[in-house]
Structure 1
Amino acid sequence: MNALPANPPDESHAALLGRLGNRSIVFVGLMGAGKTAIGRKVAGILGLPFIDSDQEIESVSRMSVPELFERYGETEFRALEQRVILRVLEHGPQVLSTGGGAFMSAQTREAIAAHGVSVWLKAEIDLLMDRVSKKQNRPLLKSADPRAVIERLMAERYPVYAAADVTVPTRDDRKEVIAAEVVNALCGYFGVAAATGEVRS
């Protein structure tokens, strides 16, 4: 295993963008993992547009995600989510944050594989609980036992998220730190020398 030497950020980022081409960097993971916050930071680092699939869904439907869940149910919401993500993926390169259930769709996974590079932000349950407990807009957590819901979702979804191209463990740290780790992990995926530290290939 050879270690690639570290490159200055601009050089590494240019090489990464060259390898990325017209593909999108697509964040997947459970609610509370930080997909939107970290995705925005990564987009800023690389000079790419950032799109949040939930915001796109709300824009086209003129309804909030909780309202869509309540009025149409999860099945219809997931169908709309899939259509929106497939449309967005046609316009890379960009950074795209997806909803927690999006990657569970085989068709969505295939589209992401064809038009993007998937990044799983993997979080432990205590971090997820701490973050989601501060927000009231999580339709799947309207339960007497939200922790049990998160545990069930982890059991169902983590084996599927594991199919992502890149996995980055996330934690309670500055967003800039996690975003830099994502960029370095992407450099490793593409065989590009990272801006800091070493990338094994």
Structure 2
Amino acid sequence: MGAGKSTLGRHLSQILDYPFFDSDRVIEEKTGADIPWIFDMEGEAGFRRREQEAIDELTRQNGIVLATGGGVVVTPENRDMLHDRGCVVYLWTPVDVQLARTRNDKNRPLLQTADPRAKLEALFAERDPLYRQVSHHVVSTASGNLKKVADDVLACLVSHRQG
């Protein structure tokens, strides 16, 4: 959370002239409900089932830029689909930066807790190894410099195509 996936994804889609998809927005459009409502009504397990369906559909497309929800990697099938069907760039972001970027965001159900820092630290400890497992490249977004991060990701894409 707070890595800049959606912002960077929209920016890269313009540079590459590829359509941009945010898996969370796709889920919201299909259900007619926002993510917090889905979590409230179906729990995280229900949301993850919907997310897996969306990832399967989206990763079957070529020539797109896809931003996923932060927890997409907790589902092994998602990790496999993402890794096998595209070039995955892990946007690594330290917890302090995540906390600063998400502190006023009420649309993140997992952070609606008394101690968001502890939650982010726990999520980072759980998810970082999974992100590293699924990704082809790791790029730091800690600088907050969109142009630099985009240039780094574009270099990864070139490297991936050549590899």
TM bucket (normalised to shorter chain) is over 0.9
Q: Which amino acid aligns with 1:62?
A: G
Q: Deviations over 1:108-162 (max 9, x none)?
A: 1111122111110000111100001021111001111000000000100001111
**Cα contact 1:127–1:172 (8 A) shared by 2:** no
Distance 1:59 1:38 in 2: 21
- Asked if 1:34 corresponds to 2:4, the answer is yes
Count how many residue pairs are aligned between Structure 1 and Structure 2: 162
Q: Which residue of 2 aligns with 1:135?
A: 105
Aligned residue among 166, 169, 179 for 2:140: 169
Deviation of 1:176 (Å): 2.1
Give distance in 2, aligned partners of 1:108 and 1:167.
18
Aligned-CA RMSD value: 1.2
Specify the SS of the correspondent of 2:87. strand
Q: Distance in 1 between matches of 2:162 and 2:54?
A: 31
Deviation at residue 88 of structure 1 after TM alignment: 1.3
Query: Given the two structures, how large is their TM-score scaled by the length of structure 1?
Result: 0.77
* 1:117 aligned counterpart, secondary structure: coil
How far is the alpha carbon of 1:49 from its aligned partner?
0.6
Give the deviation of 1:174 after TM superposition.
Answer: 2.7
Cα contact 1:42–1:180 (8 A) shared by 2: no
The offset of 1:82, in angstroms, is 0.5
Asked if 1:182 is matched to 2:160, the reply is: no
Q: Give the partner amino acid of 2:14.
A: G
**Does residue 65 in structure 1 map to residue 35 in structure 2?**
yes
Match of 1:158 in 2: 128
Higher RCO (C-alpha 8 Å, min separation 6):
1
Query: Given the alignment, which residue of 39, 54, 58 partners 1:88?
Result: 58
TM-score by length of 2: 0.95
- In structure 1, runs of 5+ residues without a counterpart are 1-30, 193-201
% identity of equivalent residues: 36
Instruction: Give CA-to-partner distance per residue, 1:6-38, whole Å, 9 cap, x none.
Output: xxxxxxxxxxxxxxxxxxxxxxxxx10001101
Q: Which runs of 5+ in 2 are unaligned?
A: none
CA radius of gyration, larger in: 1
Indicate the structure with greater helix content. 2
Q: Does 1:56 align with 2:26?
A: yes
Amino acid at match of 2:110: L
Q: Is the 8 A contact 2:93 2:141 kept in 1?
A: yes
Instruction: Find the aligned partners of 1:35 and 1:130 in 2 and give their Cα distance.
Output: 15
Segments of 4+ moved more than 3 angstroms: none
